[in-house]
Amino acid sequence: MSSRKIQYFPHIFDVKDLESAKAIILTDEGPGADTARRWALETPYVTALIAEHLSLKRGRLVARLWLRNRTGLRVDATIAIWVLQHCLEPAEDVARIWRGLRPDGRAFILNMRQRALPAVESLQSVRHFHWVTDGKDVPAILLQNFAIDAEGQVDANVVPNTGDAGSFWVRLVRRQTGGEDQLIR
């Protein structure tokens, strides 16, 4: 991309219906990988990954998730699918995930290694947005406060262009700092 000035534009994700959301979440990747086909292939694949790696029973993604403790409401597990590569400040969003988990809670992340921030040249040209990268290393940010419990690559036969962006999944465990309940910065 040229040196022209761009602005972060998260409003691309402000949609009002499922069809619009599908088009943003699962972008058309060319012949044989349009949004509808991707939705049909990827949704059962990702659901199965989540169920397997968070030990959830088929057909029931929510079990006993909440735990009340002295610091407030915490969950046993969180899921972030194709999210962190789009966040302007991924360290802040990873911190939110960490704070929302109980000690030893699990996070399942499916993400691209390469960042894809929605950006526009001006707020007057929002119909012409670009995906840009800022060089922030989401996997490294995750490892500051989580330990890897399991990890793998996304099946390229199900999810298109996974090699280009380095798509991966990882199951993480909330790391404690010296026995304290504090986020590492």
pLDDT-derived band at 184, boundaries 50, 70, 90: very low
Backbone angles phi, psi at 91, to 5 degrees: -60, -40
Instruction: Report the run of H or E that residue 89 belongs to, with start and end.
Output: none
Please, are residues 110 and 153 in contact by the beta-carbon 8 Å criterion?
A: no
The span from the CA of 18 to the CA of 131, in Å, is 22
Instruction: Report the run of H or E that residue 146 belongs to, with start and end.
Output: strand 146-153
Which of 152, 44, 140, 36 shows the shortest CA–CA distance to 94? 140
Query: Count of CB atoms within 10 A of residue 137's CB?
Result: 11
pLDDT-derived band at 24, boundaries 50, 70, 90: confident
**pLDDT per residue as tens digits for the range 124-172:** 655 667 788 888 999 999 998 899 999 988 887 787 665 555 788 999 9
Which of 124, 128, 110, 122 shows the shortest CA–CA distance to 167? 110
Backbone angles phi, psi at 132, to 5 degrees: -125, 165
Rg (CA), the chain: 18
Give percent of the chain with pLDDT exceeding 90. Answer: 17
Domain limits, the chain? 7-14+63-174
pLDDT at 102: 85
* The pLDDT of residue 79 is above 70: yes
DSSP string, 35-88: HHHHHHHHHHHHHHHHHHHTTPPTT---SS-EEEETTEEEEEEEEEES-GGG-S
- The two tokens of residue 47 are 């659901």
Residue identified by tokens 């009340």 is 68
* The pLDDT of residue 55 is above 70: yes
